[in-house]
């Protein structure tokens, strides 16, 4: 495989000025991250500060309701409430070891922003977070959390004022401030080596889940299912299962409202190959290569691109990708809350909804859903939409 590529996807489509920090990061991955000392410190942090291993929970009520043997990998129980902290703590530790002082990131739902601000506070680093102005409004609670944690949150007013625009702004900041700053990319996308780096830090999700599932049931699940925004929780959940041919891997993209004139956030199902944010991947774009505005009720899935490894898994057929719309996700948000006492993030609700919508085809099968985050941040928006 070509360096920095997954099949035909990936690469480093960046301005010349971004090559030095990307090469520096790759060097740090090869020298610092591979040391026993780094790995030991990271493992200690995941155990003592994140609360890993996260639980694997069986859902008895929903299993009875649906006829599907449903299990949840509980990333919602992590410190700060989502899978994002696995990656931000790893990158913050690397930043510290690289001798840099500022942790820069972008955020959509605010979970990556909160997780980065938390890691920065722990490592005594400054934190700068770019966030689309629309997301600043719809995820207001997380903005307050980031500010309390000491981060500078900068609203982005360009484009659709969502995640894509926040990444553009963060990349511009990095070009100017690279000497002292590490860009803590929040998902398994962007130019090489970010898709690989983020997968390395998130792969613990699938490693733990595979072992826990075997310990509890004596076998592997029939299906592993996760929502896909940029793709970090899904690639983290899938990675350990890729060699297990009996296990179906299902990524769930966001379908938006489905109304005319509303663009969805499902580039693997409805997009084409192109270049965005330094990577070649599947994108929502016009025939001329103009990026289309995405939409989803969940800010964390509201992105017109996807990480390159998912594009490769899609192209090879090893993973399948389906679409769940806003209404189905909102329904799953309520169903999981009422039937299992777990309030999921709207992002994760898409993965739960996939099981509910496909229950007839999944009768008697065991399905492991990666519950990527908790839903406190979404209470306002759900109440507004559902009335
Ligand atoms: C809880 C949660 N799940 C999923 C996502 C989507 O990101 P990714 O596809 O990188 O896991 C986000 C993004 O903000 C999130 O907050």
Atom number of ligand 1 nearest to Cα 345: 1
Helix, strand or coil for residue 366? strand
Task: Determine which residue's CA is closest to atom 13 belonging to ligand 1.
Answer: 300
Q: What is the pLDDT of residues 352-368, one digit of tens each?
A: 999 999 999 999 999 99
State if pTM tops 0.85.
yes
Average pLDDT over residues 367-381: 96
141: pLDDT strictly greater than 80:
yes
Q: Is 59 a catalytic residue?
A: yes
260 pLDDT band, cuts 50/70/90, is low
Task: Determine which residue's CA is closest to atom 10 belonging to ligand 1.
Answer: 232
Helix, strand or coil for residue 294? coil
Average pLDDT over residues 346-357: 98
Q: What is the pLDDT of residues 89-98, one digit of tens each?
A: 999 999 999 9
Report the candidate in 224, 234, 213 with the shortest Cα–Cα distance to residue 355. 224
- At 19 the pLDDT is 98
Compare 261 and 249 and report the one with higher pLDDT. 249
Choose the catalytic residue: 79, 83, 182, 295: 83
Q: What is the pLDDT of residues 104-136, one digit of tens each?
A: 999 999 999 999 999 999 999 999 999 999 999
- At 387 the pLDDT is 80
Helix, strand or coil for residue 288? coil
Average pLDDT over residues 139-162: 96
Contact 74, 343 (CB under 8 A): no
Task: Determine which residue's CA is closest to atom 4 belonging to ligand 1.
Answer: 347
184: pLDDT strictly greater than 80:
yes
- At 82 the pLDDT is 98
Pocket test for ligand 1, best of 232, 294, 307 (most atoms within 8 A of CB): 232
Q: Is 83 a catalytic residue?
A: yes
- At 291 the pLDDT is 95
DSSP 148-169: HTT-EEEEE-STTSSHHHHHHH
- At 261 the pLDDT is 61
Pocket test for ligand 1, best of 72, 129, 139, 187 (most atoms within 8 A of CB): 187
List Cβ neighbours of 298 (8 Å cut-off, separation of 6 or more).
Answer: 109, 254, 329, 345, 346, 347, 349, 350, 378
Average pLDDT over the chain reads 97
Pocket test for ligand 1, best of 72, 75, 80, 82 (most atoms within 8 A of CB): 82
List Cβ neighbours of 5 (8 Å cut-off, separation of 6 or more).
Answer: 11, 192, 308
Residue 54 — φ and ψ, nearest 5°? Answer: -75, 155
Domains in the chain, CATH or no CATH each:
5-45+84-198 (3.40.50.1100), 53-81+204-386 (3.40.50.1100)
Average pLDDT over residues 24-48: 98
What residues are in contact with ligand 1 under a 6 Å CB criterion?
82, 108-109, 111-112, 187, 227-234, 300-301, 345, 347-348, 372-373
DSSP H or E stretch at residue 368: strand 366-371
262: pLDDT strictly greater than 70:
no
- At 1 the pLDDT is 75
- At 169 the pLDDT is 98
Torsion of CA 233, 305, 376, 144, to 10 degrees: 110
Report CA(229)–ligand 1 centroid distance (Å): 6
- At 258 the pLDDT is 75
Using CB atoms within 10 Å of the CB of residue 176, give its burial: 0 to 12 exposed, 13 to 18 middle, 19+ buried: exposed
Pocket test for ligand 1, best of 164, 202, 236, 300 (most atoms within 8 A of CB): 300
Task: Determine which residue's CA is closest to atom 16 belonging to ligand 1.
Answer: 111
Give dist(CA 46, CA 49) in Å, integer: 6
Task: Determine which residue's CA is closest to atom 14 belonging to ligand 1.
Answer: 300
Average pLDDT over residues 164-171: 97
Report the candidate in 241, 298, 306, 295 with the shortest Cα–Cα distance to residue 267. 306
Contact 174, 21 (CB under 8 A): yes
Report CA(200)–ligand 1 centroid distance (Å): 16
Choose the catalytic residue: 49, 58, 59, 79: 59
Report CA(372)–ligand 1 centroid distance (Å): 7
Report CA(345)–ligand 1 centroid distance (Å): 9
Q: What is the pLDDT of residues 48-70, one digit of tens each?
A: 999 999 999 999 999 999 999 99
């Amino acid at each position: 495989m070509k360096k920095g590529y997954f099949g035909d996807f990936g690469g480093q489509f960046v301005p010349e000025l971004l090559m030095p920090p990307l090469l520096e990061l790759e060097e740090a991955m090869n020298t610092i991250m591979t040391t026993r000392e780094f790995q030991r410190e990271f493992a200690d942090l995941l155990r003592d500060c994140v609360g890993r291993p996260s639980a694997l929970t069986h859902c008895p009520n929903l299993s009875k309701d649906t006829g599907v043997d449903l299990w949840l990998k509980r990333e919602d129980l992590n410190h700060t409430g989502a899978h994002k902290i696995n990656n931000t703590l790893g990158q913050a530790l690397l930043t510290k070891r690289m001798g840099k002082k500022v942790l820069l990131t972008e955020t959509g739902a605010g979970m990556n922003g909160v997780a980065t601000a938390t890691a920065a506070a722990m490592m005594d680093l400054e934190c700068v977070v770019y966030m689309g102005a629309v997301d600043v409004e719809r995820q207001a609670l997380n903005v307050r959390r980031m500010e309390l944690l000491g981060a500078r949150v900068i609203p982005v007013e360009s484009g659709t004022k969502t995640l894509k625009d926040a990444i553009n702004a963060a990349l511009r900041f990095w070009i100017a401030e690279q000497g002292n700053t590490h860009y803590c990319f929040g998902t398994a996308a962007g130019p090489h080596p970010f898709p690989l780096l983020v997968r390395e830090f998130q792969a613990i999700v699938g490693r733990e889940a595979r072992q826990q599932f075997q310990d509890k049931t004596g076998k592997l699940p029939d299906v592993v299912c996760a929502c896909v925004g940029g793709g970090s929780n899904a690639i983290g959940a899938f990675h350990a299962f890729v060699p297990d041919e009996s296990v179906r891997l299902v990524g769930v993209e966001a379908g938006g409202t489905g109304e005319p004139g509303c663009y969805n956030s499902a580039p693997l199902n409805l997009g084409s190959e192109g270049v965005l944010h330094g990577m070649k991947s599947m994108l929502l774009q016009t025939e001329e290569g103009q990026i289309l505005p995405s939409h989803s009720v969940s800010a964390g899935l509201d992105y017109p691109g996807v990480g390159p490894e998912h594009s490769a898994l899609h192209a090879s057929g090893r993973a399948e990708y389906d679409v769940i719309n806003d209404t189905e996700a909102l329904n799953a948000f309520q169903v999981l809350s009422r039937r299992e006492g777990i309030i999921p993030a709207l992002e994760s609700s898409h993965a739960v909804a996939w099981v509910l919508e496909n229950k007839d085809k999944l009768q008697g099968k065991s399905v492991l859903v990666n519950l990527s985050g908790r839903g406190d941040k979404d209470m306002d928006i759900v109440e507004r939409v559902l009335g």
